[in-house]
Amino acid sequence: MRLPLTAELDRPLGRLGVLAGTGGALAAAAAAIVFAGVLDLVLGSSEHEIVILFGINAVLVVGLQAFVGNTGIMSFGHVAFMGLGAYTAGIFTVPVVEKTIFLAGLPGFLRGTTLPIVIAVVVGGLVALVCGLVVGPLIVRLPEATASIVTFALLVVMNNVFQNATSFTRGNQTFIGVPQSATFSLVFGFLAAAVALTATLKWSALGLRARAVREDAVSAEASGIRVSTARYWPFALSAFVTGIGGALWALDVTAFSSNSFYLTQSIGAIAMMILGGYRSVTGGIVGATVMSVWLELVRHVENGVTLASVHVRPLPGLSQLFLGLAIVLVLRWRPAGLVGARELQLRLARRPKEAPEPESPGDVPRAASAGG
């Protein structure tokens, strides 16, 4: 008996093929949700936070993968969209009474308005989307390596905005008062929606054009594909999904500052994406799963552990050390990630006869190479 799922480099042709690709990605998301549910039951309420954080990490990685995987441009600035989503969700969920104390500088309509949790999360994603639509044209028309550098500049600029927009963000002070509302159903429901969006984009005509530009921009342009437009829509959708992840993160941690959305968060998301496979939505889920579990195990050792009669003293910074080592090792021995470019897909249609997208063992985002 054949399984209804298969891992392929390309999807079947036609609209049925889009359904096969999107359905396979949703199956991968469902597997991650089941894994998280079992983990939640096994660990109990004391470790519930780990499960929620895993789901949020998966949303952030899938959002980042939507741009990097389809365009081949490594982005160091997507954590800025995470910050926009987090601050927006915070502003719209902090109770009005607390806003008058901690956020007295907010405009009147913001200071007196609170939104339901789900709507606040979506609004956080929409604010990030608007920012992505505005800055996207400045980034997507540049060569790969240059665009990657500009995304880092975006991160620096937005970090300064967060620090100086004190009426909205409290500047360098901690943004507090956000209700702890990141439930299992909320986080993993948005994960399923994020996977559906990114997989649909990948297997649609928009995604096909973006990947054609990724493989050979000159040939794609000669075929009538506008390079900047092909990259623009993956960038916009990626900003939206990352903003959603930031909003969920804010509802989980409840207190944060401008420094919460800087290099550490950016490197962590990139590491998870590279580990699973930056060209694959399924790989993003796998990378977030493996890295989240691994880092949590390392953190237990980092805080000190007793094995039999031997006590290992706390080792601060061990998790960051292992994060860096993971990136180095994966790029050395598995540059395409654990999954590579393969996607989990439903068996709904015949495979195309054309040769599938090549999966080079040395395939890494072009911005990561010296020559672009």
pLDDT of 337 reads 86
Confidence of residue 241 (pLDDT cuts 50, 70, 90): very high
Q: H-helix or E-strand containing 353?
A: none
Instruction: Work out the pLDDT band at 155, boundaries 50, 70, 90.
Output: very high
pLDDT, tens digit, 9 for 90 and up, residues 261-296: 998 888 889 989 988 989 999 999 999 988 888 877
CB neighbours of residue 259 within 10 Å: 13
| Euclidean distance between the first and the last CA atom of the chain, given in angstroms as a whole number | 46
Q: What is the pLDDT of residue 90?
A: 94
pLDDT of 370 above 50 = no
In whole angstroms, give the CA distance from residue 272 to residue 83: 19
- d(CA 4, CA 219) in angstroms, rounded, equals 36
Q: What is the pLDDT of residue 368?
A: 44
pLDDT for the residue numbered 371: 39
Q: At what angle do helices 184-203 and 227-253 cross, to 10 degrees?
A: 170
- The answer, yes or no, to whether residue 189 has pLDDT greater than 60, is yes
> DSSP states of 175-206 as a string?
B--------HHHHHHHHHHHHHHHHHHHHSHH
Mean pLDDT (the chain) is 86
Q: Which of 62-71, 149-158, 356-365 has the lowest mean pLDDT?
A: 356-365
Q: Is the pLDDT of residue 158 over 50?
A: yes
Assess whether pLDDT exceeds 70 at residue 256.
yes
Helix 48-71 to helix 205-215 angle (10° resolution) is 70
Question: Residue 364: which pLDDT band, with cuts at 50, 70 and 90?
Answer: low
More confident residue, 353 or 256: 256
Q: Which spans in the chain are helix H?
A: 15-43, 48-71, 79-93, 96-102, 108-111, 117-140, 144-164, 166-169, 184-203, 205-215, 217-222, 227-253, 263-276, 281-302, 318-333
Q: Pick the closest to residue 194 from 18, 323, 25 (CA basis).
A: 25
Instruction: Report pLDDT for 2.
Output: 60
Cβ contact 322:299 at 8 Å: no
pLDDT band with cut points at 50, 70 and 90 for residue 372 = very low
What is the pLDDT, as a whole number, of residue 109?
Answer: 84
Half-sphere exposure in the Cβ direction for 300 (13 Å, CA)? 10
Q: Which pLDDT value is given to residue 142?
A: 92
Lowest mean pLDDT among 103-107, 133-137, 189-193, 254-258: 103-107
Q: Is the pLDDT of residue 353 over 60?
A: no
Asked if the model's pLDDT at residue 358 lies above 70, the reply is no
**Tokens, residue 371:** 């020559």
357 pLDDT exceeds 60? no
Of the chain, the percentage scoring pLDDT greater than 70 comes to: 88
Mean pLDDT of 103-131: 92
Three-state secondary-structure class, residue 346: strand
At 5-60, the pLDDT tens digits run 777 777 666 667 778 888 888 989 999 999 999 988 887 776 788 899 999 999 99
Q: Is 224 left (phi over 0), alpha (psi -120 to 50) or beta?
A: left
Q: What is the pLDDT of residue 184?
A: 93
pLDDT at 162 (0 to 100): 94
pLDDT of 369 > 60? The answer is no
> So what's the pLDDT on residue 103?
87
Q: Which residue has the higher pLDDT, 327 or 215?
A: 215
State the pLDDT at residue 363.
56
d(CA 54, CA 188): 10
pLDDT tens digits, residue range 303-314?
A: 666 666 666 677
